Amino acid sequence: MPKTCFILNPKAGPSRRHDMPALIAQHFGTREANYEIRQTEYAGHAVELAQQAAAEGFAVVAAVGGDGTVNEVGRGLLGTEAAMGIIPQGSGNGLARHLKVPLGLPAALRRLAAPAFSRMDVGVMNGHPFFCTAGLGFDAHVSQHFAQAGSRGLSTYLRVTLREYRRYRPVAVEVYLAGQHLATDCYVLAFANASQYGNNAYIAPLADLRDGLLDVCLIDALPAGRAFRVSLAMALGTLPQSKAAEYFRVPQARVQAVVPIGFHVDGDYLGHATEFSVELMPLALAVAV
């Protein structure tokens, strides 16, 4: 059993309703030499805790939380020998679902007690690492308003999405993809390292965490008919076959927008900008799943 540091976000989903120390002890034993549990206290704290755990020699540093906690732990482990584990406790759990980590706590803990080790690619947008997806346009716009909604969960996300769909307008952009230049409108421009946003919403169902390439999904407009096709295809994992979006596979990209456009990494809204640089770091992070 690898020595494991659990980084727990006490505000994340179901973890608030469970005695996490007791559950971990059931699967990792009562000897604390096998593991430690450390709780986050503020935004960005998981980055610091992960860096500290790696420096102390933990073989596995497990994010106990949602996609935001996973992103912070992953950022803290870049450039270290420690592997990231995931105990999914968020509302979307995009990377956990892609990696087929069990969503139930007991099953996820059993898996982490005897994990398989591998490595995965890591994306970077304007200097911000991402492990699942990053993007410009409507998905970032929804992330911004979801963060302001006052509640979490799928129902809140769907309510915000439907409300903002009526308000959002695409932005003209120029996209440079491995020598190819596109002048187009951007409703959604997603850069996918993994296959989905979360909740099995597959924005890039063919994405591979270990192929050294980003799957780029461009939707230039989203009128009502296409919006229905896109929503259904994302749920079914058939968006590339639906012809409702364009796809490209590239190791890096550059985007220029005519006006500032919102962007996100791993579902966290980071602000607006007019220029974007996106690249992939092949096999930059060890994972234990």
Q: In a 3-state reduction of DSSP, which class is residue 96?
A: helix
- The two tokens of residue 195 are 């296959």
b/e code 236-256 from CB counts within 10 Å (16+ = b): ebebbeeebbeebbbbbbebe
Helix (H) / strand (E) element for 66: namely: none
Residue 47: which of 70, 10, 72 has the closest Cα?
A: 72
Measure CA of the first residue to CA of the last residue in the chain; give whole Å. 13
- This prediction has a pTM of 0.93
CB 58 within 8 A of CB 264: no
Spell out the per-residue pLDDT of the chain, length 289, in tens: 799 999 999 887 655 556 888 899 888 876 667 899 999 999 999 999 999 999 999 999 999 999 999 999 999 999 999 999 999 998 889 999 999 999 999 999 999 999 999 999 999 999 999 999 999 999 999 999 888 876 777 788 888 888 999 899 999 999 999 889 999 999 999 999 999 999 999 999 999 999 999 999 999 999 999 999 999 999 999 999 999 999 999 999 999 999 999 999 999 999 999 999 999 999 999 999 9
